[in-house]
């Protein structure tokens, strides 16, 4: 319940034994004692302390922090290049208490940027470190498969490194991919088949390429190949100014109408970085519009999932789009755009509720009034359909331990019974003042994930309703939509912040480092889909191929956010 | 119109009805047929007729890249319903499609694949580029990995600007394309800077030598000369 005090993660049994947990939160001195000599230095970041460790002790440090101190969630890995060194940052959190954060800072030498891989500790480090290698050029010792992930294999240079020359020509190949299990064939009868699914395929929800090896009808091996929509979002943000130029880009990460949720991730991080307070009234508008976005995003997830499982382009998909159109209409009234809202500003929102206000509220209430009936319809069509249940119950199973190890968040984690929602656990906006529930399902399967989304639509509607009530009664002369923010923001040099919000797909985090100018020196996006997609092999290996397609649909990835 | 001449007792009067003959279901009497009047024959050039047919029934390729594909889905679905204009049946296979709508940013890794998909479509084929990214790279134009527009890779008939364009804009773009097709016009083939070619055919320079041990001679590759990009 959101009404509870959010910082009560410590009462969970696992937390009591964890090192460094006190009633006030996290005791960094105790954690420092745990690391002993391995701790070289301590840095102060806006969100947490950063512990500097040697590159050849990363693994032992992370093991201790995970097992002794309870940091079971590797949220993100950020790599960056300074003038004198490379640095990898491991942003650690706890699923039980995400406000207890710690950054592990691993500096490496300029001429030999090699540090230990965190993959044995957190399996999610696999892709995160590959990305760091690809874009920045840090290498990870003992990494199981250190190759490029977002850029083509034949790419030259590391584009977010300092000496990258964007004018250099590049050559990209188009070739068929070999069967990775070919050499495991035993004799002539044992036969596996290699199938490329994507990058242009109706079931991949965008430009995803799945290198799949089939043994008969079953999936023997699946390797998602991403990067077909890597459009340099981090570079774009690094060359834009904080105040206005960055805000349009978040809309384009998770573009399934989840724009305001993404904008909020940036707004929250930047506001913490620059110390801006947002007026309460603006927070309520943000909360309301963000939840409208969540409804639209979940409806599309449900509609396209039905498209994958039923294979029809008719009723369910069309119903979902119809309801999305209504939500988009309201959002368009509010923001002026159907999809790319660009509505939040640092310190508030762009403008107030449109006049006449009554009309706007009436439209919103109409939507909410119809919602129970529409949801009942969806439950009729989807979740209570026997064929659907046959397809989805107990397929694509993702056990909670695996989900945690892969850093899964959002409906994917909550469908595996992990009670983790940043809106409640790390409150921002107006969520902690409202009455709503975090939805979890214990099923761990495709069905549970779809059910979580549908039930979350209900909760979002509850939140919106309460926000509308508050906004309606808000006194006219106190409608402050924007804090006083300097025209040009120049946060103090070398301030670092990592902040996350609960976006439609899960934990969307932003890491920013300022260098005293009006542009961030490093801007890193922690995309929930990127981590969630890593769980696909766990869900689908050994399963039938149609179940893999269903699992992919139930992950609800959006490639703009996976590839950024 | 001749069909108005029918009397209340059902007696056949017009030439049109006489030609249609007795006992034919009135459902066969379409608006189009009425428009032709008493003579159900038309005289036209075969090519013009074919162009008209082509423009009136187009199969779109179900092809999603980025943000614009969400608006494209809304264009296909209820409320906007592109199918009303005879252009809304998405086909999953490029081999069954006439039109490819390119809805989103094209990056270096995807361009060769998109070119391959385009090549698989049967002639005559048409391209609608949707959104700013397919015109110039849009908001991502300065990205190290971003192709500065679809026209760098495939010829484009209609550009629909916007980020993303509203469904109405896409409907307008497709209607314009249909109009052009019906008039027998298609885009002049522009110079496409990026082509798929065999690695062995590339001019040997530093980069080619560097990659020689990774790439086979007959692998298809696309070479990007970023410095010459607009």
The predicted-structure confidence for A224-275, as pLDDT tens digits, reads as follows 999 899 999 999 999 999 988 999 999 999 888 888 999 999 999 999 988 8
- Shortest Cα–Cα distance, A205 to chain B (Å): 8
Virtual torsion, Cα A194, A145, A122, A536, nearest 10 deg: -10
Asked if A231 lies within 8 A of B143 by C-beta distance, the reply is yes
**Residue A414 near residue A440 (C-beta atoms within 8 A):** yes
- Shortest Cα–Cα distance, B58 to chain A (Å): 18
The predicted-structure confidence for A154-196, as pLDDT tens digits, reads as follows 898 899 888 888 888 888 888 766 766 666 666 666 677 888 8
**Residue B222 near residue B111 (C-beta atoms within 8 A):** yes
The predicted-structure confidence for A445-477, as pLDDT tens digits, reads as follows 999 999 999 999 999 999 999 999 999 988 888
pLDDT surpassing 60 at residue B7: no
- Shortest Cα–Cα distance, A208 to chain B (Å): 10
- In order of start, what are the domains of chain A with their CATH numbers? 8-141 (3.30.460.80), 233-396+477-558 (1.10.645.10)
Asked if B146 lies within 8 A of A232 by C-beta distance, the reply is yes
> How sure is the predictor about A524, in pLDDT bands with cuts at 50, 70 and 90?
very high
Asked if B109 lies within 8 A of A152 by C-beta distance, the reply is yes
Across-strand partners of A170? B224
Distance between CA atoms of residues A224 and A116, nearest Å: 24
Q: Which residues of B192-229 are buried (b: 16+ CB within 10 A; e: fewer)?
A: ebbebeebeebeeeebbeebeeebeeebbbbbbebeeb
Counting one residue from chain A and one from chain B, the pairs whose CB atoms sit within 8 A come to: 164
The per-residue pLDDT for A105 is 92
pLDDT surpassing 80 at residue A5: no
Element (H, E) at A522: strand A520-526
The predicted-structure confidence for B135-172, as pLDDT tens digits, reads as follows 988 899 888 999 988 888 999 989 999 989 999 999 99
List the one residue out of A136, A165, A164 whose CA is nearest residue A149.
Answer: A136
Asked if A232 lies within 8 A of B140 by C-beta distance, the reply is yes
Asked if B223 lies within 8 A of A340 by C-beta distance, the reply is no
The predicted-structure confidence for B25-66, as pLDDT tens digits, reads as follows 777 667 777 776 666 677 888 888 888 888 888 888 988 888
Comma-separated ranges of CATH 3.40.50.12280 domains in chain B: 49-182
- Shortest Cα–Cα distance, B128 to chain A (Å): 17
- Please give the average per-residue pLDDT across A112-130, as a whole number: 90
Residue where the block lists tokens 């044995």: A120
Interface test with B, best of A339, A504, A556, A558 (most B CBs within 10 A): A339
Of B110, B216, B224, the CB nearest to A169: B224
Asked if A252 lies within 8 A of B139 by C-beta distance, the reply is yes
The per-residue pLDDT for A108 is 92
Asked if A206 lies within 8 A of B90 by C-beta distance, the reply is no
Higher-pLDDT residue of A436, B33: A436
Portion of chain A with pLDDT greater than 70, in percent: 94
Asked if A252 lies within 8 A of B66 by C-beta distance, the reply is yes
pLDDT surpassing 50 at residue A7: no
The predicted-structure confidence for A55-77, as pLDDT tens digits, reads as follows 888 898 999 888 888 899 999 99
Q: Which residue of B has its CA nearest to A226?
A: B109
The predicted-structure confidence for B197-221, as pLDDT tens digits, reads as follows 888 888 878 888 888 888 888 888 8
| CATH topology (fold) of B49-182 | Rossmann fold (3.40.50)
pLDDT, averaged across chain A: 87
Instruction: Say if residue B164 is preceded by a cis peptide, omega within 30 of 0.
Output: yes
In chain B, residues with a C-beta closer than 8 Å to the C-beta of A234 are none
Asked if B105 lies within 8 A of A229 by C-beta distance, the reply is yes
Distance between CA atoms of residues A431 and A408, nearest Å: 22
The per-residue pLDDT for A374 is 92
Interface test with A, best of B64, B71, B145 (most A CBs within 10 A): B145
The per-residue pLDDT for A10 is 41
- Please give the average per-residue pLDDT across A385-395, as a whole number: 88
């Amino acid at each position: 319940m959101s009404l509870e005090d959010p910082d009560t993660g410590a009462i969970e049994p696992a937390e009591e034994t964890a090192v460094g947990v006190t009633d006030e939160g996290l005791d960094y001195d105790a954690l420092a004692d745990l690391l002993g000599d391995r701790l070289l230095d301590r840095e102060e970041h806006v969100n947490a302390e950063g512990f500097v460790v040697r590159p050849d002790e990363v693994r032992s440090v992370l093991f201790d922090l995970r097992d002794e101190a309870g940091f079971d969630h590797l949220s993100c890995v950020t790599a960056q290049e300074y003038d004198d060194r490379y640095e990898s940052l491991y942003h650690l959190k706890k699923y039980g208490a995400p406000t207890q954060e710690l950054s592990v800072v691993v500096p490496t030498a300029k001429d030999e940027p090699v540090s230990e891989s965190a993959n044995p500790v957190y399996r999610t480090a696999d892709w995160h470190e590959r990305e760091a290698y690809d874009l920045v050029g840090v290498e990870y010792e003992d990494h199981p498969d250190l190759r490029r992930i977002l850029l083509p294999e034949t790419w030259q240079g590391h584009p977010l490194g300092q000496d990258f020359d964007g004018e250099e020509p590049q050559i990209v190949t188009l070739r068929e991919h070999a069967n990775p299990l070919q050499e495991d064939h035993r004799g002539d009868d044992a036969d596996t088949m290699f199938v490329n699914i994507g990058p242009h395929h109706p079931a991949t929800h965008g430009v995803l390429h799945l290198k799949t090896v089939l043994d008969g009808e079953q999936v023997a091996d699946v390797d998602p190949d991403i990067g077909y929509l890597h459009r340099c979002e981090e570079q774009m943000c690094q060359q834009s100014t904080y105040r206005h130029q960055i805000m349009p880009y978040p809309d384009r990460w998770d573009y399934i109408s989840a724009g305001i949720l993404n904008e909020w991730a940036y707004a929250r991080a930047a506001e913490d970085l620059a110390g801006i307070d947002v007026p309460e009234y603006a927070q309520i508008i943000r909360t309301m519009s963000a939840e409208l976005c969540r409804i639209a995003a979940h409806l599309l997830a449900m509609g396209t999932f039905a498209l994958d499982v039923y294979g029809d382009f008719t009723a369910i998909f069309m119903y979902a789009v119809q309801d999305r159109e209504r939500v988009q209409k309201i959002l368009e009234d509010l923001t002026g755009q159907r999809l790319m809202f660009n509505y939040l500003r640092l310190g508030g929102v762009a403008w107030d509720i449109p006049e006449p206000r009554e009309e706007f509220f009436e439209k919103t209430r109409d939507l909410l009034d119809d919602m129970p009936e529409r949801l009942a319809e969806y439950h009729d069509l989807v979740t209570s359909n026997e064929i659907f249940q046959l397809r989805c119950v107990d397929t694509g199973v993702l056990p909670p331990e695996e989900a945690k190890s892969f850093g899964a968040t959002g409906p994917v984690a909550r469908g595996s019974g992990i009670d983790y929602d940043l809106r409640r656990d790390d409150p921002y906006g107006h969520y902690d003042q409202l009455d709503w529930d975090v939805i979890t399902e214990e099923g761990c399967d495709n069905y549970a994930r779809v059910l979580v989304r549908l039930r979350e639509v209900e909760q979002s509607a509850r939140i919106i309703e309460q926000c509308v009530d508050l906004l309606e009664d808000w006194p006219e002369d106190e409608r402050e939509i924007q804090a006083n923010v300097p025209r040009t923001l120049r946060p103090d040099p070398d301030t670092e912040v990592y902040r996350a919000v609960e976006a439609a797909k899960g934990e969307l985090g932003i890491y920013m480092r300022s260098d005293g100018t009006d542009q961030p020196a490093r801007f890193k996006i922690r995309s929930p889909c990127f981590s969630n997609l890593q769980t696909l092999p766990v869900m689908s290996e050994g399963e039938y191929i149609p179940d893999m397609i269903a699992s992919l649909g139930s992950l609800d990835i959006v490639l703009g956010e996976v590839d950024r | 119109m001749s069909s108005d001449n029918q009397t209340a007792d059902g007696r056949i009067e017009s030439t049109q009805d006489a030609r249609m003959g007795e006992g034919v279901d009135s459902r066969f009497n379409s608006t189009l047929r009425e428009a032709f009047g008493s003579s159900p024959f038309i005289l036209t050039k075969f090519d013009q007729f074919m162009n008209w047919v082509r423009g009136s029934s187009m199969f779109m390729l179900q092809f999603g890249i980025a943000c614009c594909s969400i608006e494209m889905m809304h264009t296909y679905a209820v409320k906007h319903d592109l199918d009303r204009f005879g252009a809304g049946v998405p086909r999953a296979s490029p081999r069954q499609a006439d039109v490819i709508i390119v809805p989103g940013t094209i990056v270096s890794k995807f361009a060769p694949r998109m070119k391959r998909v385009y090549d698989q479509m049967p002639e005559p084929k048409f391209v609608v580029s949707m959104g700013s990214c397919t015109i110039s790279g849009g908001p991502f134009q300065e990205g190290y990995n971003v192709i500065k527009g679809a026209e760098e890779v495939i010829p484009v008939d209609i550009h629909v600007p916007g980020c993303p364009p509203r469904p109405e804009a896409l409907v307008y773009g497709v209607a314009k394309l249909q109009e052009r097709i019906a008039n027998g016009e298609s885009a002049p083939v522009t110079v496409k800077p990026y082509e798929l070619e065999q690695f062995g055919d590339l001019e040997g320079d530093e980069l080619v030598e560097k990659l020689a041990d990774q790439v086979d001679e007959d692998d298809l590759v696309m070479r990007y000369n970023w410095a010459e990009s607009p």
